[in-house]
Each structure stands twice: as C-alpha cells, then as structure tokens.
Chains A and B, each alone.
Chain A
Amino acid sequence: MRLSERSAAAAQPASISSEEELHTASATGRFAIAVDIGGTFTDFVLLDRQRRLVFTEKILTTPAAPEQAIFDGIGKLAARAGAPLDGADLLLHATTIITNAVIERKGHDFILLHTAGFRDILEIGREHRYNLTNLKLRFPEPLSKRSLRLAVDERVAAGGEVIGVPDRERLLGGLRRLAEPRAIRNFAICFLHAYRNPANEELVRGWIEELYPEAHVSCASAIAPTQREYERWTTCTVNAYAMPLLADYVTRLQHELGSLGFRGRTLMMTSSGLPMDFERCVRSPVRLIESGPAAGVLAAREVAGRNPPPGADAALAAEARIADVLAFDMGGTTAKGAFLSGGQVHVQHALEVARLGAFEPGSGLPLMIPAIDLIEIGAGGGSIAAVDERGVIAVGPLSAGAAPGPACYDRGGEAPTVTDANLVLGLLDEENFRNSGIGARRALAHAAVEQRIARPLALSVERAARGIHETVNENVARAFRVHAAELGIDYRRYTLVCTGGSAPLHGAAIARILSIPSVVFPFGAGVSSAFGLFAGKEGITLHHTKVMPLHEVTPERVRAEVGRLVESEPYAKDLLARNARADLTVGMRYAGQGYEVAVALGDAARCHAAFVKESFHCAYRNIFGVIFPDYEIEIFNWTVEVATDAALSTLTGHRYDSLRTAARKIKGERSVWIGQEGGPAKLPVYDRYALEPEDVIEGGALVEENDATIYLPAFARGVVAQSLDILGEIRFEPRT
C-alpha cells in the first residue's frame, strides 16, 4: 500500500499502474471487507475500490456470539461508507474462536480411537518437568476424555508397512457402545506411524463415515502428518474438539451474510498466513489457532513493503523497500513477535498453545501445524507488576485482563499494571482512554504503583513506574533475543514494526535494547491485523515427513514428492488450476540430528543433489556458523506452499478517510517522567492525523492517534514517510 500525499490525494486519487492492477486477485466488486475478532475488540477495514477510500472501525467483541459484533460493525461501516453488502466481493476474517475454545475448554466431546496399547499417550506426554526447581507443576488436561477412548488392534511399522489391520465389526461394535449413549458424532483417529502410512486411519475413517454420515472425523495423519505421536495426537484432539464449533459458526455466518445479500467469497486467515476458503477451514480448525496474530504479521510485512529501508537515498533507491522485519505486536495481555527475512515470513511446524501459569514452554498443548513462527510473551498493557522473590520488579505473565483490568480502570483491580505505569509516567493520559469508553484515573494508578512497588522497594513512585516500563521492555527484548538465537538471526539489521495498541509506546525502547536502529510506527496500528488480512494470498500449506538421503535426490524424485502432496489435497489442486504456485521448502539435517533446518528450494526442477546440498550448507552455516562437509545429509520433511500469486486485495493508491486537513500538528504538551533524572520533562503531543510526509519529530515526543500512542524517547526521532507511517531512528549511546 502506498498512500499518496494528503493534499494531492484529496483532490484526486493517486493513479495505480496497470501492473499493480494485474497483481490484484479477484478485484471485481466495489467493496472488500476485513474483520479481525480479538479478545477485547473486533476490528474492521472496508475498502471502497471505486472511491479508493479506506474506512476503519473498532467495536467491542461479543464473545458469546462473535458474529453479532461482525454484523454490527459491518452495518456501522457500511452506513459510513455508503457500501451495501451486495456490492462486496470479499469478506476476510481472522478469529480467536478456536484459541478461546481450547483455552476456556468450550469445545465438543469426541471419541479418540487409538492404537491398542497406547491409551495414555496424551497423559504421559514427554515425561518432562517444564520447570526444573519448582516441583509443584500443573499440566494441561488432555482434551480427550479418558472414558471416551477406544483401543484399536492395528499396527503400522516405523517404516510404514501395515503389520496389523483393524477388524471392522469389532471396531464398530466398540464404537457404537461409546457413541450411542450420548449420541457423540465427533471422532479423532490417532494411530502410531500413520504419518508414514495413513492406510489404517483412512480405512477406519471410511467405516465411521459409513456408519454415521453426519459425523465429524479428524485423522491425525491428515491433520499433522509428522513424526512424534504425542504432539501429532494432541494436534488431532484440538482439531476434533473445535470442529463442530467451527462448523456451526461458519454455517451461521454464511446464512446471515447470504440473507444480507452478500454474494462474494469468504476466507479465513490460517496460522501460516495463507487465508483459506471457509469450507476448507471447517475440516482443519486447528489451523486457525493463530489466525489473528498471523494477520498481524502480514500487516507488518505490508507496512515494511511500503516504506524505504533505513538510510536509503530517496533518489537512488526509490523502489527499495524494507525486507528484514521484526514484527512486534503488543495488546492487552500478550506481546508477540515474528521475524521476516527478505520479506518472507518463517513458517514452522511446531507451536504450543494454552500454556499454564508463567507461559513456560512445555506447560501447554503442543501442536504440529504450519504456523508463522511467533514468539509469545505474557507482556501487555494489562500485565501485572509485582516485587518478586528476587526483590526486584517482575512484570507478567499474570494479567489483569479486561476485568478487573488495570488499577486505573477503577473496576476493582488493585494490582499495578503496565498501563498504570504508563499513565503514572505521563506516556498515557486520562484522555487517551475516553475513545474506548473507559474512565481511567491516574490517581488510582499512582496509588497502586506506590503501594505494591515503590514502598516495598523504597523508590519514588515515578522511578517504580519507570522500572515497570523498563522491565516489560526487557522481557519482550529477552524473548526476541532468545528466539533469534534459535533461528540464527542477527536481529540488529532488522527493522522493528510496531502494530497493536500498546506496541508504539514501547517499540523505541525495545529497539534500543536490541541494538535495532530503525522502527516503523504504522498508520492505524490499532487495527493493523484487519489490514493484514488483505495482504494474504489465498492458499494452503501441505506438509509431510519423508526421509530422503541426499544421494537419492533428483529433480524427478523431488517433483514426484511434491506431486504426491498436492494430489492429496483437492483444495491445492483447485488453487493450482487457478494460477497458484507451488513452493517447496524442505527440512534438512545431518543424518543423526533431531532438528531440521528449513531450506527453501522453490521449484522442484532445479533440485539436483548438488544444489540441494549447497542450499542446506548455506542455511546451516547461517544459523550455526559451521558445517560438516563430509557428514551424511538427509531431507526429513517436506512443505509445499500452494498459494496464489497476488494478495487478495491491494490498498495501493487508497487513502484514509480519517485525515484532518486543517488540524494543528502539535495539539498540546504533557509532563512525562521518563528518561530524566529528577523531575518530569514537558513533551509535545502531536496529532497523528495532521502530520504530513517529510515532517520530522524530534524525541522526546508523543504522537497520538485514536487507538495508539507513539512514544519517541530522546534517543529517537521520527520522520513521516510518504506512506504516512512514521519511520523512527534510534541513536545508540551507552545508557547513562
């Protein structure tokens, strides 16, 4: 998206080149709508292609019936934009419905069919304590009820040969006994080694579908065709648990949309950043588990793609764009991060959801689905600060949530939160909360920080609040740094892109901790995930495990392997018939290692052994700094991303409807207690909607827009780009 300079755009829309027109998929109707349902707010973006206008809206989420907020919001937006729903050709959707079902345990019971002798795989797990010295640990309860498990006499060997075929009558007899009393029609089939050969799982699926044609059936081999039974089976249980829920939701949504005259396509964002057709999503609900965050990462990619890289000479590198991005999103309860290298998101195949307690790895449910590699930290505006057993400030992962919320909300919360600290420091103002209908009181924040932090540590309230602010920054930076080490990424040359309501307040300071010199504060950060939905390319990620030693690799064999994956998925075949591309990435390792390095191979045609070897060594050296030229190499798993060439919709040439031409750029000033010894400093407060390209904002300063406040400390300055995003530059001097 490239937003033209306001004055010109107001007079006439910037022209879109024909090339860009071509890159817009399915742009036939006048309107396109994106909806992102979050924990607190549901965000909307409406695109009026005819007038080239972008409208945004934000309303409270309706957790009991999420579609209610959708239709309320669309109604409001349609009225503002004069956009009847029958003029829309596209509805994009990101949702937390699956995540919430798992966290709040609101899914549906199902019968788990498992290989006989392995009933307790879900309870036994990895046989590991996730915290070394805190012995009293809680673990997540499996989603499968123990009373609803059926042992199946069957066996596939490690190599994939079927060595035991299940008996149809015995199986169905046992199944009926379990299913009938409560009329359960939801099933998960989890057999050992089925990722190598799904024959037995498919056989049983067929029998069940014959017996109960209306049944929901999840096969672990189809949901997560990857080695490691505990993780694969757990993934399958999440899928089964959520499937009836999603099926109902989609039916209701489609019905209501139809009755409002909507005739366009409907897609949901999946965790890997590829939106899929509603119907296809219903079969793989577990793939939606990081739907919203994935859209947020795409938004960051989009933001990067419309801004020049730091230090670029405008005249010489007019077309250069930011390519290496650390996407940073911070909301009410958590912060998330993702690295994008060369404009590409990292998609991985293992994540963990519904972690207990302190967000400790190992305390949640492990999933093996393609997902954008996200770092999640219990650090948001609602994160609670306390003095921990070390006698220093600790922030999070406990959150005051929306209820009772931060102390300043005056809804019964007594613990100081990050938001309270920011209010005490003057980074936020009581006025900032009024838009969202919250009456925040600084005096309450002050009292909470004083009581719980300042007094116990014998500090001033302002120093304590600054400590909270700094501690949460360090927590976020720490998580990013440790994850970068896993990926072998030198994050210092990445650009930090701040999306979400709280990120712009903390972004500059976190960038400095990470030695990252440039930060982008996008326009409309508060609804960026909804923007990100438009940036998605329709598609699906296919994945399976198959060991192929390097010496067996030929372009023909690789093509055959890709073909096999595509054949297994009608949706992928359909996409390929509609101009999609198939991109291959393989997980490779030295024989004997247990972790794979992702190697992007692209087109199968060039996959000669020498090329594959060189690509692997290059990737391995990047991460680990060494290679072992003589060691045996193997491909372990295969990922094919089938996706359309172009994003679902483009914002190129559109302009925001919220700009104010005549407003004053500096709307006031505020006392801020940060970065100073002694007293507060008076910082200017800028009106985001009045800023124009090439405006320069010297730190310290605050920039306010509806749902977000940007804090530029003294060590930063901001330049307003042509896109209206603010490009922040960080100066590095040692701390004083």
Chain B
Amino acid sequence: MNAAKDFDAVDLGIIWSRLVSIADEMVSALVRTSFSTMVRESGDYSCMLFDARGQFLSQGTASVPSFTGTGPATLEGVLRAIPPDTLEDGDVLITNDPWIGTGHVYDVNVVKPIFHRGALRGFALTVSHVADIGGIGYGTGARDVYEEGICIPPVKLFQRGAPNRFVFDLIEANVRFRELVIGDIYSNIAACNVGYQSFNDLLAEYDIGDFGPVADGIFALARTAIAESLRGLPAGLFRGSLPVEGIDDEMVLTLAVAVTISESGFAFDFAGTSPVVNRGINVPLCYTRAYSYFCFKTIVAPNMPNNQAILDFVSVAAPENCILNAQRPYPTGGRHILGHYVAPLVFGALASAVPARVQADSGMICQVNFRGRSPMGRSFSYILFTAGGYGAFADMDGRAALPGPSNMIGIPIEIWEENTGVSVLRKEILPDSGGAGEHQGGAGQLIELRNDTGRPLDATFFGSRTSLPARGFNGGRDGAVRTLFVDGKPVAPKARLDLAPGAVVSLHEAGGGGFGLPEKRPASSIRADLEAGLIGKDYVRQWYRQQSALLFDSDRVPNPSRQPGPEPVKEVTS
C-alpha cells in the first residue's frame, strides 16, 4: 500500500485530474437522469467528492456559483446528525435544511458514504434544485422558513441499500409534482453511485487505502500555487458597500464588506450589512460563503479545480441576523436575489486594488415563476430565467445577454412554449442598454410573453436592478435598469400576480456596466457596435461625444489641423 510520499508532483497532478473527472462523471449522470428543468435546462446542481475525513477533494466542472465549496459545511452538518461510525455500505443520506445545505429548501443534498474493501474511504455528495418542495411554492412571499416547504433533516434515505419507505412517503405526501421530485432524488442517487464506483476504481488502481495522505499531497500543491498567486496581489484592507433593492420600491438594503488580502488569503467581513427582513430574501451564511469562495476563485485561481486547500484560504464573518447571515426561522426562498450581490459587492471593493481581475456590475438575471395549466392540461411550475447584460472588464467588453455572477442556462423558446402555453412574442437584444466605457457593458434583452394557456396564470417575479443599475467601474457608465410590465403597465419587481388569458408580460432586461472612461473607447469599436445595432446614434452622441465627431459627418467640429478620420458610418436602417 502506498503512502503519499511515494507520489511525486506528476502522479499527484494526474490523480487530481482523476478526482475532477469523477465529479464530472457524476454530473453527467445527474443531468441525464433529472426530471427538473432547473437541473437540465438551468444547471442548478453540483457534484462533489470528499475523503473519509470530510476533506473536499473535487467539484464537478459544471455547476453554479451558489454551490462553490458549499459541500464541506453540508457534509459536516449531515455527519453531525449521523456520525460516521453509524454509516454502513449502501447508505444514502439526504437533507434540504437551508442552513446545512445551500440556503433554501428547494435544494436537495444527497450524500453517499464510499466504502472500499469494507472501510469508509470517502463521500460522494450531490445537490440539485427540485421541481417542488411543498409550502407556498417557490418565491419570496413567505414570512418564515416553515411556510416555504418541507424541511428534511439529515436522515438515511437508504440503509444498506434498502430504501427507507417512511422518508419517501413523507416527501411524497408533502410536495406537488411528486413524480418529478422523487425522480430527481433518484437522479441524485444515480450520480452518487457513479462517484462511489469511480472512487473505488481509483483506490484499487493505485492501491490506496487511506486517501488522506494523497489528498494532503494534492492540497500541498494547491496551497503552493495559491500562495504564489497571492504574492501578486496588493495586501491590505479594502472596503466596499452596495445599496441593493429589497422586496418593494421603498426598501433599499445595504450590503457592506471589508476584504483583507494577506498572504494567508482573503478574509471577508460583512459587518455593516442591513439586518434580516420578514420576506424570503434572507441569506444564510452558507450561501454568502459560497459567493465569497467564488470571488476568491475568480480573482486568484480562475482555472484551478476547486478543493479544500483553496477554500482554506478564505474566511467569512458576518454579524448574526444581518441579511447575509440569517438564522432560522427567517425565510430564505429567494436567498439568491440578494446573495448574488456578494460578487459585485466584492468586485467593487477590490476595483482599485486589482482592476485587471474584477468585473463591472452585470445586469444579472431575472426570474419569473409561472404556475398554471398548459393548454394540454398538464399543470406546471416553470421558472423563466433571462439574462441581462454582462459587465465589462478592464480589457474586454461585456457580452449581451449573459448571466453574471450566477450562471443559469436559458431555456429554448420552443421548449418553453410547448411546456407552458406561454408564448414568446419577442426576444431580442435591447439596444443602448449597456453602460458606456472604454470597454462597454453588455446589452440587456427585450422579451415579450403572452399568456396563451387559456386560463389565468400565477406569475411571481424576481426582478432586480429595477432602480439601482449595474455600476460601471473606473469611469465606466452604469447600465440601463430593468423594467417589468404587464399589459404595458409597470409592475413591482417582486410582485406575485394573476395573469389573465391574453395578458402580455414585457421584460426589459438590465444592461451591464462599462469599464474605464468612455472617452478612451476607440471609434472603430463604437462603429462596430453601431453596425451591429447594439447602440444607436443618439446613444453615441450622448455617451461618446468626442468620438461621435469622428463617426458622423454632421457632428464633425471643423478642425483644419486634424487629419480626416475614418469614413462616417451610414445610418443603420432596419
């Protein structure tokens, strides 16, 4: 049997890749077997692997930031309730406790202990957003977590390979769309089984018993690499604060952070953040932590596979019952609405310290949850995710209609219409919505939907950036705000309302912020955007006044000393 000292850096690199590969295999199985559109169309899942100590080995490449490094705390919480010495081969554990899992009850976490030659050698963990979890349904309307659905404490769903019927019955009795929910739980189990088998194969191939020393060898490599990357960053304390929209027009909350960069990593302190509220937008600390990890990774090691050693460079503190550290029983259903803002908060705080590594604010995603019956009579609950514009960087424009920091996947219009009977009348890039700058923010979208189900439809909106736009960084301008309409009348950003048959919902998705002074944007780039229809002439005159003289004949200021500029563009006709 090998001790870790027998593996050199080359071997450890290969085994490290294998661990990521195993997590990716789990993802394949999860996506392929899932019933929930949240998983297969929106990517709302993650798969992870641990050693027997609960040290985090690898995470599937495909995931969303909300799940960055959530696994260690989840596993710890589960094992606190079900100690490792009570585990047997063939057990499968489950929980959706927001404070153990990933911040709201809709995410189901499944853990399978991995036994090899009779001994506990590791854990496979998967998490996915299920179609329903009971309660008042997906939204921010709950006054406490109990209204949001059934909470499954850590429990053995399978014991030595045999299903615990009581747990299944309990879940089935408490959820809508039980076939979908149970199907999705099985899909998590299928993914864990893949992790179990492949980790076993790895241990056999390398004749490893206790994986701990090998993991430590890999962690040492990661630590060395991170330490090296950290040396390139300025040490110090960097503060930022960000006003964000609450649940109605009046409510503005403040998120605040102090980031200490040192050779031991990033320490995040969210002191100064507003207190919790009595609607479902409160954020448990596990979610705040996931986004803190995410920011650290994007800045320090964007391409390095995630593991325990990397997480150990990050510490997170937040006052109890500030809105980024909500305690039970505050409702957390829409925890992502505020939680996503941790990324722009941190990027803003670090914009002066590491400008080349941060992103101006993005227009972020908008969610509308539609519940009703399709024309074929099937009852449905689907969330339409649509992306605003992507924030610009110091060296790159923001792309139109790209989510950031969260990373959902848009549902094809044809699948959407077929499943819901809600017609999409229009879905195009919204010109002039990106923020000007040396690098321009990405444009938002213009989307129109009509209730063609023939019945009233229950619609819940999760709109943000409706009054507070995506900020431009370092002189870049803000993006346009998001506006939501029903039949041409503005609606509250987090409204829940009935849509009459024929009612038309319009979403003007927010643009991303620009980066750097608009005066520095090359005329050729402005011309290209004009030709592509991303901006119009008036926008150019308003935000790129200097360059407009070069671009439009009529704006040209007579200047005999000046060489003739590039050819003026023709008016774009549609």
Known: A481-B198, A624-B29, A628-B183. A470 touches B412 (CB 8 A): no
By a CB distance below 8 angstroms, the chain A residues around B448 are: 117
B242 to chain A, nearest CB (A): 18
A200 to chain B, nearest CB (A): 15
Known: A471-B14, A592-B179. A482 touches B417 (CB 8 A): no
Give residues of chain A (357-403) contacting chain B, Cβ–Cβ below 8 Å.
388-394
A20 at the interface (CB under 8 A from B): no
A147 at the interface (CB under 8 A from B): yes
B225 at the interface (CB under 8 A from A): yes
By a CB distance below 8 angstroms, the chain B residues around A125 are: 401, 410
Chain A 463-487 interface 0/1 with B at a Cβ cutoff of 8 Å (1 = within): 1101100110011001001110110
Of A131-139, A261-269, A442-450, A606-614, the one touching chain B: A131-139
By a CB distance below 8 angstroms, the chain A residues around B228 are: 391
In the complex the two chains form, what is the Cα distance from A111 to B517 in whole Å? 37
Known: A127-B403, A389-B303. A515 touches B205 (CB 8 A): yes
B350 to chain A, nearest CB (A): 13
Known: A227-B414, A624-B33. A127 touches B409 (CB 8 A): yes
Give residues of chain B (119-153) contacting chain A, Cβ–Cβ below 8 Å.
none
Give residues of chain B (507-525) contacting chain A, Cβ–Cβ below 8 Å.
none
B276 to chain A, nearest CB (A): 29
Chain B residue nearest to A626 (CB atoms) is B186
Known: A193-B414, A734-B204, A735-B205. A391 touches B224 (CB 8 A): yes
By a CB distance below 8 angstroms, the chain A residues around B31 are: 595
The interface on chain B, measured as residues whose beta carbon lies within 8 A of the other chain's beta carbons, has a size of 93
By a CB distance below 8 angstroms, the chain B residues around A470 are: 10, 14
Q: Is the CB of A128 within 8 A of B302?
A: no
Chain A residue nearest to B191 (CB atoms) is A485
By a CB distance below 8 angstroms, the chain A residues around B68 are: 132-133
Known: A133-B297, A623-B32. A474 touches B407 (CB 8 A): no
In the complex the two chains form, what is the Cα distance from A475 to B205 in whole Å? 16
A201 to chain B, nearest CB (A): 14
Chain B 351-382 interface 0/1 with A at a Cβ cutoff of 8 Å (1 = within): 00000000100000000000000010000000
A382 to chain B, nearest CB (A): 20
Interface class of chain A by DSSP: loop
In the complex the two chains form, what is the Cα distance from A388 to B20 in whole Å? 16
Give residues of chain A (573-629) contacting chain B, Cβ–Cβ below 8 Å.
590, 592-595, 623-626, 628
A567 at the interface (CB under 8 A from B): no
Chain B residue nearest to A467 (CB atoms) is B10
Q: Is the CB of A625 within 8 A of B190?
A: yes
Chain A residue nearest to B131 (CB atoms) is A592
Partner pick for A124 among B62, B305, B400, CB 8 A cutoff: B400
Partner pick for A229 among B25, B28, B413, B429, CB 8 A cutoff: B413
By a CB distance below 8 angstroms, the chain B residues around A228 are: 412, 414-415
Give residues of chain B (211-261) contacting chain A, Cβ–Cβ below 8 Å.
221-222, 224-225, 228-229
Q: Is the CB of B304 within 8 A of A389?
A: yes
By a CB distance below 8 angstroms, the chain A residues around B400 are: 120, 123-124
By a CB distance below 8 angstroms, the chain B residues around A592 are: 35, 179-180, 183
- Most chain B CB within a 10 A radius of its CB, from A125, A129, A393: A129
Q: Is the CB of B221 within 8 A of A390?
A: yes
Known: A158-B417, A624-B29. A459 touches B403 (CB 8 A): no
Q: Is the CB of B445 within 8 A of A457?
A: no
Q: Is the CB of B206 within 8 A of A734?
A: yes
Q: Is the CB of A132 within 8 A of B414?
A: no
Q: Is the CB of A133 within 8 A of B294?
A: yes
Q: Is the CB of B28 within 8 A of A485?
A: yes
Q: Is the CB of A127 within 8 A of B385?
A: yes
By a CB distance below 8 angstroms, the chain A residues around B325 are: none
In the complex the two chains form, what is the Cα distance from A475 to B21 in whole Å? 9
By a CB distance below 8 angstroms, the chain A residues around B17 are: 471, 474-475, 478
Chain B 62-73 interface 0/1 with A at a Cβ cutoff of 8 Å (1 = within): 111100100000
B61 at the interface (CB under 8 A from A): yes
Partner pick for B414 among A117, A229, A389, CB 8 A cutoff: A229
Q: Is the CB of B428 within 8 A of A593?
A: no
Partner pick for B408 among A128, A193, A482, A623, CB 8 A cutoff: A128
Q: Is the CB of A390 within 8 A of B222?
A: yes
B18 at the interface (CB under 8 A from A): yes
Chain A residue nearest to B448 (CB atoms) is A117
A162 to chain B, nearest CB (A): 14
Chain A 133-170 interface 0/1 with B at a Cβ cutoff of 8 Å (1 = within): 11111010000001100000000011100000000000
B24 at the interface (CB under 8 A from A): yes
Partner pick for B221 among A157, A193, A391, CB 8 A cutoff: A391
By a CB distance below 8 angstroms, the chain A residues around B41 are: 594
Sample of 19 further A-B pairs with CB below 8 A, known A392-B10, A482-B21: A117-B426, A120-B429, A123-B401, A125-B401, A127-B408, A128-B43, A133-B298, A134-B303, A192-B413, A193-B417, A227-B412, A457-B9, A471-B13, A471-B17, A474-B18, A482-B25, A482-B28, A595-B31, A734-B206
Closest 4 CB pairs of A and B: A392-B13, A127-B410, A734-B207, A467-B10
User: CB within 8 Å of B: which residues of A?
Assistant: 117-121, 123-129, 131-137, 139, 146-147, 157-159, 192-193, 195, 227-231, 388-394, 457, 459, 463-464, 466-467, 470-471, 474-475, 478, 481-483, 485-486, 513, 515, 590, 592-595, 623-626, 628, 631, 734-735
17 contacts between A and B (CB under 8 A): A127-B385, A127-B409, A128-B408, A129-B402, A133-B297, A133-B298, A135-B393, A157-B417, A389-B301, A391-B221, A392-B12, A470-B10, A471-B17, A478-B18, A478-B21, A593-B34, A595-B32
